Structure 1
Amino acid sequence: MELLSPAGDFASLKTAVRCGADAVYIGGKCFSARRNANNFTNEEIAAAVDFCHLHKVKVYVTVNIVIKEDEFSDALSFASFLAETGADGIIVQDLGLLCAIRKLSPDIRLNASTQMTVCSADGVNLLQKLGANRVVLSRELSKEEIASINAKTTIELEAFVHGAMCMSWSGQCYLSSIIGGRSGNRGLCAQPCRLPYTLYRNGQAVTNAKNLLCMKDLCLAEHMHEFQTIADSAKIEGRMKSPEYAGVVTRVYKQAMEGAADRAGIQDMLSFFSRGGSGSGYFHGRGFDKLMDYTGTEKVTASKDLISEIQQTDIAKKRAISFRLTAREGLPLALAAECDGFSANAAGAPCERAKSAAFDKMRAKEQIGKLGDTAFVVKKITTETEGQPFVPVSALNSLRRQVCADLQEQICASYRRNVNKITAIGQIAKRETRPPKVCVQVRTKEQMEAAASCGIKAKYLSYDLFRRFGTEKDVCVLPPLTKEGETLHLESAARVMVQNIGQIEAAKEKIMCGGERLNVTNSETMKILSSIGMKRVTLSPELNLKEMKQITDHCAVPAEVIAYGRLSVMLLENCVIKSAYRCTKGEGFFELCDRKGERFPVLCEGCRNVMLNSVPLYMADKLDDIVSLNAGAIRLVFTTETGDEVKKVLSAYQAGLMGKAPRSVFDKITRGHFYRGVE
C-alpha cells in the first residue's frame, strides 16, 4: 500500500520524504484546491519531482478545482508541463480537463479528486472508462462501502486516513461561495462552517449558539490493518500545515502500516495538531454527535523534543550505487558508477608517479563513499591500480561529483515524457438562437399542484415525490448522490436529472439531463457529458453571466440555468439535527442561524441534510440577461415555498418573460453569482 503525504512547500516535501512517505502530493501556484498554501512555482515543481524520484518517491500534482472556460487552455498547458517534467500523476476535479489531459498524455496517471464526489463503484468504473487511473473516494464512506467498491472495480482506490474533516461532502459545499464569493470548488474556502450556529425548529431555538458544523479530525492510525485490505493508497490531509506536522504524521502512519505503531506514538502525533479531538470519521459508519466537535478549538501542543526528533529523522529511500576506480600510472584517473541500470563515467588528469607513499585503496574508497545528502548509498567500491599512481583527494571528489550528477540526471530524465500537441479547445459550435424552455422543480405535493394550476404541465419532481406522483412527462430529479449500496428505483421514470457521476449507469437507458451538482464550468465538460447521454446540462450556479455566455457561445450542447430558488449551500451526510438535537424523522421546519442572524433552512433527505441559502435567488426582473445566454432552459427550483408563494413566483417569471414588469415577491433576495461570480 502507498502512503501519500501532503506537502504545501518544499520544506514539508523533504520532511515527508525523510519520514517515510511513498508518495507526496503538491500544488502549483494556480489550479489548486489549497490556494492559500505556499505551493510551488513551476521551477520548484520540477525540482520537487526530481528530488522525489531520486528517493524513489512518487509526486502527484493537484489541478483539483473546476476550470472556467477562459482558463481551460492554461490549465491544459500546465498539465502538459507536469507530464513533460515527469510528475507521476495529476489529481483532477474537472471532468472535461481529465478527458483532455488523457488525450494530451496517454501514460500519465490521472487521479480523480475527492472533489468529484465519487462514492460508488458505478462512479469509479465510469471514470475509468473516461481515462482515470485512480479515484480518491469521498470521506463519507464506511469500511464496508469502500470494500464493496474495491470488490467491483479494477483501478486504484485512494482514501483519506488522517486530517481535517468537512461537514459537507467535498465538491458539494457552496456556503463560502454564497456568503463571500470564495468557492471551495476553486480552492478558496473561507470555512464559515467553523463558526457558531444555532439550530431552530419551527422558529424556536433548540440549541445554544455553538459550532454545529465542526467535525473532529480523522485518525485511522489504529485501524490501518483494516484499511490496507480495501484500498491502494492511504492519504494524509494537511497541505496547509507545517513541515513538522507532515513528518510526524507520515512517520506514525508508516509505522502503523508496518504494524509497529503504538498508542503512545499515536497520542504524540495527535498532540501535535488536533481539532477538538480525533476519531475514525465515517470508517465505522455515521456517528452523529460522536463525530462532532462543538467546541471549535484548535490545539498545537507538540513538545520541542518531538519537533527536534522529527527534524532529525531520515528514513528516506536511498539508491544503491557501485563505483569502480581505475588508477594507472601515466593514464587518466577514471571513475565508473552504476545504479539501478544506469551508468556513468568520468576521467581526470593522468596519474603521476607517487613520490613517497603508495596508493592507499582504503583511503580512496572512504573518499569516494562520502555521498553526503545525495540520494545514493554505497553498495560496492572496487579499485584497479597499476604502477605507483598518485591520486589527489580533490581529484577523487571531482570525479565522484561528476558521476553522481550524471546518474542523477539520467534517473530524473527517465521519468520525463513527450506529450501530444495541445488541440484547440472550445471550438465555435453555437446553438441556433431560440427562446429557453421554462422548467419548474418541486419537492412537495402542494408545490406540484400550484405549478399545475399555473399551466405548468411537465415538471421536475424530487425523487421521493416522483415515486408517488410522477408521470412519463415529468423529470425525476435524482437524490444529490447515491452511495455504494443504495439503489435507485427508476422503473416508472422516462426522464431523469442526474446529480452525481455514479448515477449515470443506473440512468443510462433514460432520457438524461445533468444537474447543477455536477459542477459544470466549461464547454469541454458539457461535451463529455453529452457524449455519455446527457441531452441538456445545467451550468454551475457559481458562474457569472459572462462566464455562462462563454460556454453557450462555444458549445452546441443545450445548457440549463437555475434562475430561481434557495440554492443548496451544503450537503451533509451526518445529520446536524440528530447530532445536535434529536431525530425528528423529518418532521418540523429546521434552520441554522449564523452569528449575523441569517437563517439557513435545513431539509431532511433520509438521514442526510441539504442546507439551503437564507434567501432565494430571484431574477424575474432580470430575465433579459438570462435569455441572452441562449440556454436551452431556465429552471425555477422550489424547496421551502408554500403553494401560494409558488404561484406568485411563477406569475412574476411569466410576466418577466413577456417583457412586463413583475411584481416583487420577497423582501430579501439574492442575485446569486450572476453579476459577481467567484474567485
Structure 2
Amino acid sequence: MRTDLRREDIELLAPAGNWEAMRAAVANGANAVYFGVEKFNARARAHNFLMAELPDIMEFLHMYGVKGFLTFNILVFENELEDAKELIDACIDAGVDAVIVQDLGLVRMIREISPDFPIHGSTQMTITSSEAVEFTKPYDMERVVLGRENSLKHIQKIAADTKSELEVFVHGALCVSYSGQCLTSEMWGGRSANRGECAQACRLPYDMIVDNELKDMGNIAYVLSPKDLAALELVPELIEAGVTSFKIEGRLKSAEYVANVVSKYSRAIDAYFAGEAYDPNVIDIAELEQSFSRGFTHGFLSGTNHQELVDGTFPKKRGVFLGHVKKVFRDAILIDLQAPLKRGDGIVFDAGDPTQDEEGGRVYDLRIKGQKIEGKVEAGMYEIVMGRNDVNLGRINVGDKVWRTSDPELDRRLRKTFDTEKPYRTFPVNVSVHGTIGQPLVTIWTDVKTEQTVTIKSDKAAEAALKRPLSDEVLRDQLGRLGGTVYHLGELTLDLEGEIIVPMSELNRMRREASEQLLALRIAPRQYQKRDVDVYEDTLAAEPADGSTANLIALCRSLEQIEAAGKTDVDYIYADFEFVRDYPKAVELARQAGKKIALATPRILMPGERGILLNIIKAKPDGILIRNTGAAYFFEQERPEGIELIGDFSLNIANHKAANLFLERGLKRVTASYDLNTEQMVDLLSQSDASKIEVVIHQHMPMFHTEHCVYATFLSEGNDYTNCGQVCEQHRVSLRDRVDFEHPVRVDTGCRNTVYNAVDQSGAEFLSEFLQYGVCTYRVEFLEEDGGRVQEVLKLYRQALQNEVTGTHVWRTLNATNQLGVTRGQLNKTGVTRG
C-alpha cells in the first residue's frame, strides 16, 4: 500500500445524463461527476442538462463537496466558436470545476479567455504516451484522460515520467476504436463519433473474409464488439500505478446503474486506504452484470489479450447468465440454474442469433416437478413459468442460453439510496462558544471539510443564569439540531465566564444563521479569471491558389505504388507501410525517381515505441507525416535536421485555432480533419492560412483504428504479437457488412488494425472551391491499387488541377472505372455547389 496518498487524493468520477443519475452518483460516494449540456458534448443521445442549469448543478454538487466537470469533448467547427465561447463563459461564471476537452483549438481558446480555468484532456484526445501528455503541458491542463488501451504498466510509466494527474476509465462500455480515431459513423451516416453522434457500427455483425474466402465463424458475427470494462479487483493496482481519477462510463445509463457501480468502486477505494483486502464477491459482480454487461473484461489494463476482449456472439446487454434450457414443457421451461432467480425477474432466451427477436419476459412462477416454490432459488434444476403473453414457448429450444436481464428488487434497493428527501451525507462542523455576562454570546462555526468559518453573535447579551445555565450538554443539544442540513455537530469548545444564559430562541436562530451562511460559502461559485476575447482576432487568409502550380501528393502503401507514383508528375510521395522496416527501401525508390518522400508515423504512440520514431529518422526522409501528439512532441524535441514535419488528419484539426496551434508547434503544414464536410472545410479555410492546410481529395476512409487485432483473435490462439504467429503476414482479411461491402483490415507496425472503407471517396467536385480559398496542397491516398491504377488516378487529379477536365469528369470517370464505384463521403454533406 502506498503511504504517500490519502483517500481524498483519489477521485471517483461518475457519469450523469440527468438529475436522477447525478443524485445517485452523489448519494453513493462519487467525489466528482461529469455531465453534458444540450450541445458540445460526446453524448448527443443522452438527455443532457441545459446550459441555464449550470449554476443549480454546481450548487447541488458543491453542497456535498463533489466536483462537477462539464464534458466539452467534441471537435468544434469554425462557425461554432462563438457559441463555444458562450458556453465556456457560462462555465466560468457558474464555477464549474473543469471542462473535459477534445479539441486543442478549444483548449487554445479557453486559455485566451482564462489563464486559470481548469481543463482536462479528454480520452478523445487519444493521449496514450508520456510524450502526448508532455505535448499538452504548455496549455496548463490540470489532467489528462488516458486512452482505454493503456495497460497498468503503461500507466505506471506515464505517471512516473510526467508527474501529471491521470484519469483512467475503470468501468463501462469499451470502444473498439481508439477514442477520437473512429470515423465509421461519419463515413456511413454523417454522424461523427467526434461530435457525440456515434452510430455504434462496431456493434453490427460482419462476415470475415480471409484471402478472398468466407471464413466459417460458427455463431460468431460481432467481431468488433468488445465486452464491457470492469476493473473492480484492479483498484489497488491502479492506485499503485498512479491513477488519480477512477472514471466510470455511462451517461446514457440509468440512475440505478450509476448508484450500483459507484457504490462498489467507492467501497473498493475505501478498503484500500483502510488497509483492508477487498475481493469482489460473486454477488458484487453479479449485481454489476445485472445493471449492464456485455460480459466483463479488464480491457487492456492487464495487457493485451486478443482472446478475451471480444466474445463475438452478441453485441448488446445480456445481464447475468442463468444457465441453459434443458426441456420445454407445455407451460414452463426447465433450466439448470447457475445463479439466483425469483418471481418478477426479467429473463431472455438466447438462441444464438441476436439479430432476430428473442423470447423473454417476467418470471411468473418457479416450480420443482410441478410444485410451486416461494421466494428466491439458487442453483439447481427448476421449472420456469412465464406470463402467458410474454413468451412463445414454441420458439424456445433445448440448449438455448438464459440470461437474467432485470432484477426489480435490486433496482428498488438502489433507488432507495438516492430517492429520498434526506441529505445524502452530512459534514462535521466544529463550534466554539464564548460568553460573558453582559456581552453577546459569540459562536464560531467551522466547516471542517472546507475550513470555512462564520461567526454568529446573539442579539441579546448573556445574563446570569438563575437555573439551568449554558453547559456542554445544553449547547450540544441546541446547536447540534442540524437535521435537514448537510451538517452535523463535530467538536464543541466552550469558553464561558460564570453561569450564563441566553434564550433558547437565540440559540436556535444562531444555529440556523450559521448553517445558512456556511452553506452559502460552500456552494459559492469558484472564482476564475475571465477576459472578453474576440474568437476570430487571430484568423488569417490565403490568396486563391493556382491549380496549375498546386502540389499533388500520393500516399502509397506498397513499394509497387511508390514505383508507379514515381513515374508520374506528383510533387511528393508519402509512405504509409505496415512495417517500418520497409521504409528505407521506400526512401530509396523515391530518391531514384527524383521525388521528395515523407514517412508516416503510426497513428498511435504507446510507451516503449520511441524506437519506431527513431527508425523513421534513420531512414532520412524529406518529411515525416505526424499522426499523433506524442509523435509531434517527440519530433519537436528531436528537431531532425532537414526533415519537415507535416500534421495528418488524425490530429483532428477542425478550426483555425487548432491549425494555428500545430503550426506554431513546428509543423510546416497540417491536414484538415476528416470530420469536416465541404461547408465546414470552407469555413476553416476562410479563417486560416489555407496555403498551409493540406486537403485529402481521394482515399479509402480509415474507419476503425483499434488495438483489437481481428487477425490474432480469429486466425490464431495467441494473446498478443508474441504468440499470435504473425498471421497478419500470411493472410489478408476483410470484414463484409450487411450490404455486402468488404472492408479491408490492415495491420500497422504496432500490431494495430485499421478497417478501411471498401469504397473510394473522392472530393474532385470540390477542387475549384478549395483552390478559391487558397489550398495549394492536395493528397491522393491509395490502399490496394496496382501501379497502373495509381498512375491513372493521379493523372486524372492533375488534369483537374490544371483545369483540363472538371471535377465532375474526374468523379464520373472514377465511378465508371472502379468496380465498387466511388463515394463523395462526408464531403458531400453540404450545400456547396459542385463544379
Fold similarity call, TM over 0.5: yes
Q: Give TM-score, length-normalised by structure 1.
A: 0.92
- Write the deviation string for residues 361-392 of structure 1: whole angstroms up to 9, x where unpaired: 76775454333343212114578798776545
In 2, Cα distance between equivalents of 1:343 and 1:285: 49
- Write the deviation string for residues 399-444 of structure 1: whole angstroms up to 9, x where unpaired: 5333322211222336232322334435442113223321111111
Counterparts of 1:98-247 in structure 2, within 5 Å, are: 98-208=107-217, 210-230=221-241, 231-247=243-259
User: Closer, same or farther in 2 for the Cα pair 1:343/1:283, shift >3 Å?
Assistant: closer
Is the CA contact 2:154–2:607 (under 8 Å) kept in the aligned structure 1? yes
Count matched residues: 676
Secondary structure of the structure 2 residue equivalent to 1:160: strand
Is the CA contact 1:586–1:604 (under 8 Å) kept in the aligned structure 2? no
In 2, Cα distance between equivalents of 1:414 and 1:334: 28
Identical columns (%): 29
- Write the deviation string for residues 214-261 of structure 1: whole angstroms up to 9, x where unpaired: 111111111112111122222111111112211211121122222353
Query: Where does residue 501 of structure 1 map in the other structure?
Result: 629
Is the CA contact 1:328–1:389 (under 8 Å) kept in the aligned structure 2? no
Query: Where does residue 365 of structure 2 map in the other structure?
Result: none
* Aligned with 1:541 (options 662, 666, 674): 674
Is the CA contact 1:62–1:91 (under 8 Å) kept in the aligned structure 2? yes
Per mean C-alpha deviation after superposition, the further-off stretch among 62-71 and 101-110 is 101-110
1:460 Cα offset (Å):
1.0
Is the CA contact 1:440–1:460 (under 8 Å) kept in the aligned structure 2? yes
In 2, Cα distance between equivalents of 1:415 and 1:268: 40
Is 1:676 equivalent to 2:829 in the alignment? Answer: yes
In 2, Cα distance between equivalents of 1:271 and 1:455: 59
Is 1:485 equivalent to 2:617 in the alignment? Answer: no
* Aligned with 1:306 (options 403, 410, 414): 410
Secondary structure of the structure 1 residue equivalent to 2:188: helix
1:520 Cα offset (Å):
0.6
Is the CA contact 2:659–2:670 (under 8 Å) kept in the aligned structure 1? yes
In 1, Cα distance between equivalents of 2:534 and 2:511: 45
Query: Where does residue 594 of structure 1 map in the other structure?
Result: 737
* Aligned with 2:659 (options 513, 518, 526): 526
* Aligned with 2:792 (options 615, 640, 648): 648
User: Closer, same or farther in 2 for the Cα pair 1:599/1:250, shift >3 Å?
Assistant: same
Counterparts of 1:297-336 in structure 2, within 5 Å, are: 297-300=316-319, 301=405, 303-313=407-417, 318-323=426-431
Is 1:15 equivalent to 2:54 in the alignment? Answer: no
Per mean C-alpha deviation after superposition, the further-off stretch among 22-31 and 408-417 is 408-417
Is 1:417 equivalent to 2:528 in the alignment? Answer: yes
In 1, Cα distance between equivalents of 2:792 and 2:554: 13
* Aligned with 1:401 (options 503, 512, 517): 512
Counterparts of 1:543-582 in structure 2, within 5 Å, are: 543-556=676-689, 558-582=692-716
Is 1:39 equivalent to 2:143 in the alignment? Answer: no
Is the CA contact 1:426–1:555 (under 8 Å) kept in the aligned structure 2? no
Secondary structure of the structure 1 residue equivalent to 2:728: coil
Q: Residue type matched to 1:570 in 2?
A: F
The root-mean-square deviation of aligned C-alpha atoms, in Å, is 3.0
1:187 Cα offset (Å):
0.6
Per mean C-alpha deviation after superposition, the further-off stretch among 148-157 and 43-52 is 43-52
Secondary structure of the structure 2 residue equivalent to 1:659: coil
Counterparts of 1:318-397 in structure 2, within 5 Å, are: 318-323=426-431, 337-340=445-448, 341-344=451-454, 365-366=476-477, 368-380=479-491, 390-392=503-505
Secondary structure of the structure 2 residue equivalent to 1:4: strand
Query: Where does residue 453 of structure 1 map in the other structure?
Result: 567
Q: Residue type matched to 2:83 in 1?
A: D
In 2, Cα distance between equivalents of 1:618 and 1:396: 78
Per mean C-alpha deviation after superposition, the further-off stretch among 643-652 and 396-405 is 396-405
Is the CA contact 1:539–1:559 (under 8 Å) kept in the aligned structure 2? yes
User: Closer, same or farther in 2 for the Cα pair 1:331/1:110, shift >3 Å?
Assistant: same
1:47 Cα offset (Å):
2.2
User: Closer, same or farther in 2 for the Cα pair 1:107/1:447, shift >3 Å?
Assistant: same
Is the CA contact 2:552–2:798 (under 8 Å) kept in the aligned structure 1? no
1:659 Cα offset (Å):
3.3
In 1, Cα distance between equivalents of 2:19 and 2:26: 11
- Write the deviation string for residues 540-592 of structure 1: whole angstroms up to 9, x where unpaired: 12212221122222122611111101111110111112213336233333211
- Write the deviation string for residues 277-331 of structure 1: whole angstroms up to 9, x where unpaired: 1011111222113110212231344644433443444896643223467999999
In 2, Cα distance between equivalents of 1:476 and 1:27: 39
Is the CA contact 1:324–1:381 (under 8 Å) kept in the aligned structure 2? yes
- Write the deviation string for residues 658-678 of structure 1: whole angstroms up to 9, x where unpaired: 232443432521112223169
Per mean C-alpha deviation after superposition, the further-off stretch among 309-318 and 439-448 is 309-318
Q: Give TM-score, length-normalised by structure 2.
A: 0.75
Is 1:277 equivalent to 2:277 in the alignment? Answer: no
User: Closer, same or farther in 2 for the Cα pair 1:365/1:631, shift >3 Å?
Assistant: same
Per mean C-alpha deviation after superposition, the further-off stretch among 551-560 and 278-287 is 551-560
Q: Residue type matched to 1:251 in 2?
A: S
User: Closer, same or farther in 2 for the Cα pair 1:381/1:311, shift >3 Å?
Assistant: farther
1:117 Cα offset (Å):
0.7
User: Closer, same or farther in 2 for the Cα pair 1:352/1:623, shift >3 Å?
Assistant: closer
Is the CA contact 2:109–2:535 (under 8 Å) kept in the aligned structure 1? no
In 2, Cα distance between equivalents of 1:416 and 1:220: 36
Secondary structure of the structure 1 residue equivalent to 2:128: coil
User: Closer, same or farther in 2 for the Cα pair 1:591/1:518, shift >3 Å?
Assistant: same
